[in-house]
Amino acid sequence: MITTNSLQRTLGRSGLQVSAMGLGCWAIGGPWKWLDGQGGWGDIDDNESIRAIQHALDSGINFFDTAANYGTGHSERILGRALAGKRDKAVIATKFGFVVDEANKQVTMRKDDHLQYVRQECEDSLKRLNIDAIDLYQLHVWDYPIEKVPAMVDLLESLVKDGKIRHYGWSTDSAEGARLFAQGKHCASIQHDLNVVLDAPEMLKVCEELNLASVNRSPLARGALSGKYAKGTTFPQNDVRNDEWSKDHFFAPTLNQLDAIREILTSNGRTLVQGALAWIWARSEKTIPIPGFKTVAQVDENAKAMQFGPLTAEQMKEIDSLLGR
C-alpha cells in the first residue's frame, strides 16, 4: 500500500503539483435554481462543509474545484472561509460563464456576448473566495461556440498577464473544442465526464497528446457508483439528481452494469467508491477525479482511496471485457 501523500499528479502544463484526487464543491453550494429546474444537491450544513474541506487538507488533498454557479456563489464563499489562512496549501479552481443572481438563487444562460462579462465575473469570484489570484479559471459553458474560442483564449491570457488568474481550462466534453482551447499558452486542463461506466477515450487522447490535466467530473456517476442507491431511488425536490439527465445519463447505465464489475472494484479491501476512483487513476496518468462531498465522512472515504492507488492493468482489461468495450 502506498502512502496518501505519495499519490500526486501534475496539473497539465501548469507544473503545479496536486493531489491525484481533488474535491468537487458543487454540492456544498446548497439549493439553487437552474433554468427550469434545480441546480443543487439538497440541503447543506455550512459548518460541516468547512470541517470537511479542512479534513481534506489534513488528508493530503490540496485541489478544490468550485464554480460561480454552485449555490450562486455560496460554494465559493464557503471554500474561501475554509481555506482562510491556508491559501498556500491549496490549489483553487473555479468556473465562469453564466448569469448568477445571488439574491434570487437563480442561474441562467447568457444571451449576449460572454466576453464582455468575464473580467467582472473573475473579480466577483476573487472576492467570494477571498483570494488574490485564481489558480485555474475554467469556462463553464460546455457548448461555447467553437468560432469564438480564440477570442476567449486571448481574454484569458490577458487575465493571466494581469495576475488575476494563473492558468485556465474549459469544462466541456468536446474533444474538438479542447484541442482549440489548448492552443492558449496557459491552458492547463480540460474538465469532462469520466467514470468506470462512462469512458472518454477521445478526450483522454487529447489530454495526453497536449499535456493537459484531465479533470474528471461525475467520477462516481452522481453517486450511482457509491453503492447507496438502487433503481427507482428518489431524491429530495431540491436535489438535481431528480432530473431526467441524471437518471438517463448516470443512474440507469451505471446501475445496469454495476453488479458485473463490483467484485473487481471492491478488491483488496476497497470500498466501491475507492474502486471507482482507482479505475480513473489507472485509466490515464493525466486524470484527476473530483468527487463531490457534503460531509467529513465522505471526504475521509474519498481520501483513503489514495492509499490504495490505481487498479492493475489486468483488472482494467477485465473490466473492459465485462462491459463489452
User: In the structure grid, which three cell numbers stand for residue 209, read together?
Assistant: 497528446
What is the Cα–Cα distance from 182 to 179, expressed in whole angstroms? 5
- From the list 70, 137, 144, 168, the catalytic residue is 70
Chain position carrying cell 445496469: 256
Q: Which spans in the chain are helix H?
A: 46-58, 74-82, 118-129, 149-161, 175-181, 201-210, 244-245, 252-265, 272-283, 296-308, 313-322
Q: What residues are paired with 8 via a beta bridge?
A: 19
Task: Choose among 131, 82, 76: nearest CA to 100.
Answer: 76
Computed from CA positions of residues 120, 125, 130, 136, in that sequence, does the dihedral angle turn out positive or negative?
Answer: negative
User: How many whole angstroms separate alpha carbon 106 and alpha carbon 101?
Assistant: 5
Say which DSSP state 227 is in. Answer: T
Cell (9 digits) for 5: 501523500
* Residue 137 annotated in active site: no
Q: SS3 of 112, please?
A: coil
The amino acid present at 48, given as its one-letter code, is: E
Tell me the C-alpha distance between 270 and 96, whole Å: 36
Distance between CA 192 and CA 259 in Å, rounded? Answer: 25
Rg, C-alpha atoms of the chain: 18
Distances, alpha carbon 106 to alpha carbons 35, 39, 42, 115, in Å: 8, 9, 15, 21
**Enzyme catalytic residues:** 70
